[in-house]
Amino acid sequence: MAEFHKSDVEKLLDGVLPWPAVQDMMRSPKDPDRFDKYVEILQSRVPWPERILLPLTPALFIVAKDGARIVKCRCGHEFGDYRVNWKLAALIHVRADEASLREVYRGRETPDPAWIQVREYVCPGCGSQLEVEAVPRGCPPDFEFLPDLDSFYRDWLGRPLPDAQAFEDRTLEVVRSWRRDPAPAPRRKA
């Protein structure tokens, strides 16, 4: 069994582990405590105290907070219940016309806005670009990853989380609540 130190994993994450060492890491049996080392590193890099339960992206984490499990950006901005697509709590900028597309794609490289729109999801806290979608009008946002946290901790890591929750997608519940409640006044012009 290869032994990889936390500092090796840290260098890997930062892209500074020498290539031969990365190849060794790829070839060798995986370190069984990698997840714990990884989360320790990530936890030490965020300015907030809530426990990271699972990294979703380089910027977003599922954390335990006051008995709930929420998505939180590394900057501290909170997006709510992890079982609701976090995009519903993000800022969005959509490039659906030639002029806005041309800020990113020019000339022959510009896609056709009648076929596709580019959706940029932005963290309201720090302005990080969290995901980009290229989809035709009508496509709901992808809920890229809904982890089954309780099965993961209980069955795969052998240390169950307190307060088990149902593994379910609650995104449409939020959308339904929007239908019931009057929309707030727009903060900005579209």
Q: Does 71 bind another protein (CB under 8 A)?
A: no
Q: Is there a contact between 77 and 123 (Cβ–Cβ < 8 Å)?
A: yes
Residue given tokens 């309780």 in the structure block: 150
Q: Does 110 bind another protein (CB under 8 A)?
A: yes
In whole angstroms, give the CA distance from residue 162 to residue 160: 6
In whole angstroms, give the CA distance from residue 69 to residue 149: 10
Q: Is there a contact between 30 and 3 (Cβ–Cβ < 8 Å)?
A: no
Q: Which of 66, 69, 71 is nearest to 55 (CA)?
A: 71
In whole angstroms, give the CA distance from residue 116 to residue 109: 13
Q: Least Å distance between CB 5 and another protein?
A: 14
Residues 48 to 67 in contact with another protein, rule: CB under 8 A: 54-59
Q: Which of 97, 128, 127 is nearest to 113 (CA)?
A: 97
Among the listed residues 1, 67, 162, 187, the single contact to another protein using CB under 8 A: 187
Q: Least Å distance between CB 68 and another protein?
A: 18
Per-residue interface string for the shown chain with another protein, residues 83-102, x marking contact by CB under 8 A: ----xxxxxxxx-x------
How many other CB atoms are found less than 10 A from the CB of residue 167? Answer: 13
Q: Does 76 bind another protein (CB under 8 A)?
A: no
Binding part of the chain for another protein, among 43-51, 64-72, 158-166, 177-185 by CB under 8 A, reads 177-185
Q: Least Å distance between CB 30 and another protein?
A: 6
Q: Does 20 bind another protein (CB under 8 A)?
A: no
Half-sphere exposure of 41 toward its Cβ, with a 13 Å CA cutoff?
18
Q: Does 120 bind another protein (CB under 8 A)?
A: yes
Among the listed residues 151, 160, 163, 165, the single contact to another protein using CB under 8 A: 151
Residues 121 to 140 in contact with another protein, rule: CB under 8 A: 121-122, 124, 126-140
In whole angstroms, give the CA distance from residue 11 to residue 185: 47
Q: Does 111 bind another protein (CB under 8 A)?
A: yes
Tell me whether residue 163 or residue 176 sits nearer to another protein (CB atom).
176
